[in-house]
Structure 1
Amino acid sequence: MPILVGHRGAPLRRTENTVPSLLLAAEQGADAVEFDVRGSADGHPILLHDRTLQRFWNDPRTPGEADLAEIRALRTEVAGERIPTLAEAAATVPVRLVVDNKNPELVPVVAAELRAAGALERSCFIGEPEVLTVVREHQPEAEIVLSWVGPDLPPSALLDTVRPQALNLRWDSLTEESVKRAADLGLRMWTYCVDDAEEAVRALAWGIDAVISNDLPAVTPVLAGAGA
């Protein structure tokens, strides 16, 4: 049975990359939650996907233009939703953490905060080569999932540098042959985002190792049935 990963939590029902969204994903059966990390002006890792705070938080600045106190003051219209720190998410969310760090300069502090929260051993690192290259240098034993736009696999030189345990290819460009080629290289295959039952059935047939989804209730019955 593939690992089921909530994409930024449960974004169809709670604001993405917030603690309520991550906790809801866990309640909906996710084995892990994926979230994005950026840095505040004063160097604190926070959960945010976009380059600016505009979407959801109605602030045109980048997170690097606002200090942590200003960022934590931002709210949506839904009670309890705000931008969390990485430390808060790591200490609160009980399932496996899939960390997409957008800033290579944050790699050491991200690892330090996960370690301080007792969450480093249940964390893996996903994302782009520029950041994951630094992760591998800083954390030789880290579990790394290298994101790529398929169907072609990353070049061998990049694989030798990053040394990922798994690849993460977009579902809309993934092929069954891509999965087979990755397996031949000893690499597990993740994919994003699988959001309906029909897609989940095909992912199972292809032998996908982890499914990242925005709509966990839509795909959980298919994956749970496979496990049974």
Structure 2
Amino acid sequence: MALTVAHRGDPYVHRENTLPSVRSALLKGADAVEVDVQVTSDGVPVLLHDPSLDRLWGHPRAVAGLTRDEIGRLTGGAVPTLGDALAELARHAHGRMLLDLTDTGQVGPTLAAVRAAGAGERVYYCGGATAMRAVRDADADAEIALTWKTSAWPAPALLAEVAPRWLNLRFGLVDPPTVAYAREHGLLVAAWTADWRRSMRRLLALGADAVTTNRLTALQRLTGDG
């Protein structure tokens, strides 16, 4: 049965990429919680999808230009560090965390936080080829979900270089030939981000091994976990 991956926590209940959102998804039994990582000016990885605080917190300030403490003051302490999120994960016996990285500058601070938390067995990484190459270079044992956004399949040479466990596809790209390609290369298939039951059912019928969603409870009802 497909794994249920909670997109940025439980964002229909709590603000995305916050500790209450992560906690809610874990308490509901998500197999994994996908979170986004940005890095502050003083090198601290924090949970935030956007490169600025504008959309979620109303401050048009770039995360990369702010220290961890400055972000804390601007958001009332609501933006957690990755270390905070991993500490929350450790409080739950069930579940993993999928760390979404968008550039190579995030890799070093992120892997350092994972090592400091002793969380290597409970996290895996997703992102594009450049970021995932950097993860592989830094950690030969990292579990990688190579994010793919086009209908042209990743070249075998790239797969050999990155050595992903997962092919992490935009959900509309999941079709029988693509699933077959993944299987031929020993890859599990992950799909993101499916929020409608029709899309979820289609992905499950195609044999997706993991589905990322903002509507965790709806997906769990279809997989039998709800």
TM-score by length of 1: 0.92
Structure-2 residue corresponding to 1:124: 124
- 1-structure distance, mates of 2:98, 2:217: 20
SS in 2 for 1:140: coil
Matching residue's letter, 2:38: R
Structure-2 residue corresponding to 1:192: 192
Q: CA deviation at 1:5?
A: 0.5
1:72 to 2:72 alignment: yes
Structure-1 residue corresponding to 2:134: 134
- 2-structure distance, mates of 1:131, 1:216: 27
Structure 2 unaligned residues grouped into runs of 5+: none
SS in 2 for 1:133: helix
Residues 119-139 of structure 1, C-alpha deviations (whole Å, 9 max, x = no match): 111110101111110100010
Q: CA deviation at 1:173?
A: 2.6
Residues 176-218 of structure 1, C-alpha deviations (whole Å, 9 max, x = no match): 2211111111111000012132222221211101110110111
Match of 1:85 among 81, 85, 94: 81
CA contact (8 A) 2:5 2:212 kept: yes
SS in 2 for 1:84: coil
Structure-2 residue corresponding to 1:21: 21
Structure 1 unaligned residues grouped into runs of 5+: none
Matching residue's letter, 1:12: Y
TM-score by length of 2: 0.93
Matching residue's letter, 1:127: G
Q: CA deviation at 1:103?
A: 3.2
- How many residues end up aligned between the 2 structures? 222
Deviates further, 209-218 or 156-165: 156-165
Structure-2 residue corresponding to 1:205: 205
CA contact (8 A) 2:39 2:109 kept: no
CA contact (8 A) 1:149 1:169 kept: yes
- 2-structure distance, mates of 1:123, 1:223: 22
Identity within the alignment, %: 38
CA contact (8 A) 1:74 1:82 kept: no
Matching residue's letter, 1:175: D
Matching residue's letter, 1:87: G
